A and B are shown apart, each in its own frame.
Chain A
Amino acid sequence: GQSLEQPSEVTAVEGAIVQINCTYQTSGFYGLSWYQQHDGGAPTFLSYNALDGLEETGRFSSFLSRSDSYGYLLLQELQMKDSASYFCAVTSSRTALIFGKGTTLSVSS
């Protein structure tokens, strides 16, 4: 079967750093993406890793290790507005995405 595992909940305080891990087991692999979703609204794209290593986009970074079938999303200088659900997703074929069940991040002051 195909599966992605990520923690269901993470809590942190403003200004902190948090890491959300994702391990995957899929029949095909083209890349690992991360999406953010606020309050059940439209998911929005954050990052994509096709190759091993770290990708940095402002306060957010994403890492991939293909040999370990593992990746993570790193959020720095947390703000209240970062409270949301975060989904990892594997591109398992040329176009199809398989999503994890999501991690709810709660940021407190």
Chain B
Amino acid sequence: NAGVTQTPKFQVLKTGQSMTLQCAQDMNHNSMYWYRQDPGMGLRLIYYSASEGTTDKGEVPNGYNVSRLNKREFSLRLESAAPSQTSVYFCASSSSYEQYFGPGTRLTVT
């Protein structure tokens, strides 16, 4: 069991570039989430998907889009990256109250 995997681990973008962060889980969980973590800010929910085919906005959705491709995969897209999106991005999945997190993607936007 790999648990939750994320690609890439590190990424540097220039302002205005686009990219997609990939997340996959092999635990057959219905719910998946995208968080960002900034220094001193804890984790903030960007988007979540309670089940395949549904997505909902979290606390900080502006500038992001998501796709729940199937039960296993949940991707996060930055259409036009901005320096304010420099952060560490974590994907998570759950079947109940316990969430399982991936190792994170460290994104820098210059």
Residues of A within 8 A of B (CB): 8, 30-31, 33, 35, 40-45, 48, 50, 87, 89, 91, 94-102
Give the CA-CA distance A42 to B105 in the complex, in Å.
10
Which B residues between 85 and 110 are near A, CB-CB below 8 angstroms? 88, 90, 94, 97-104
Q: How far is the CB of B107 from chain A (nearest CB, A)?
A: 13
Kindly state the separation between the CA atoms of A45 and B35 in the bound complex, as whole angstroms: 15
Q: Binding site of B, secondary structure by majority: helix, strand, loop or mixed?
A: strand
Instruction: Determine whether the beta carbon of B45 is less than 8 Å from that of A101.
Output: no
Task: Find chain A residues with CB under 8 A from B37 CB.
Answer: 40
How far in angstroms is the closest Cβ of chain B from A97? Answer: 7
Q: A31 — which chain B residues lie within 8 A by C-beta?
A: 97
Known: A94-B50, A96-B58. A42 touches B101 (CB 8 A): yes
Contacts known (A96-B45, A96-B58); A101 close to B40, Cβ less than 8 A: yes
Count residues of B near A (Cβ-Cβ below 8 Å). 27
Please name all residues of chain B whose beta carbon is closer than 8 Å to the beta carbon of A41 when the two chains form the complex: 103-104
Interface assignment of B44: CB less than 8 Å from any CB of chain A:
yes
Asked if A45 and B42 sit within 8 Å, CB to CB, the answer is no
Asked whether any CB of chain A lies closer than 8 Å to the CB of B2, the reply is: no
| Residues A42 and B42 in contact, CB atoms below 8 Å apart | no
Contact B97 A48 (CB under 8 A): yes
Determine the distance from Cα of A102 to Cα of B41 in the docked complex, in whole angstroms. Answer: 8
The digit string for B17-59, where 1 denotes a CB below 8 A from any CB of A, is 0000000000000010101010011111100101000001011
Tell me which of A48, A50, A101 contacts B41 (CB under 8 A). Answer: A101
Q: How far is the CB of B7 from chain A (nearest CB, A)?
A: 14
Alpha-carbon separation in the docked complex, A60 to B56 (Å): 34
Q: Do A43 and B58 touch (CB < 8 A)?
A: no
Q: Are B103 and A33 in contact (CB under 8 A)?
A: no
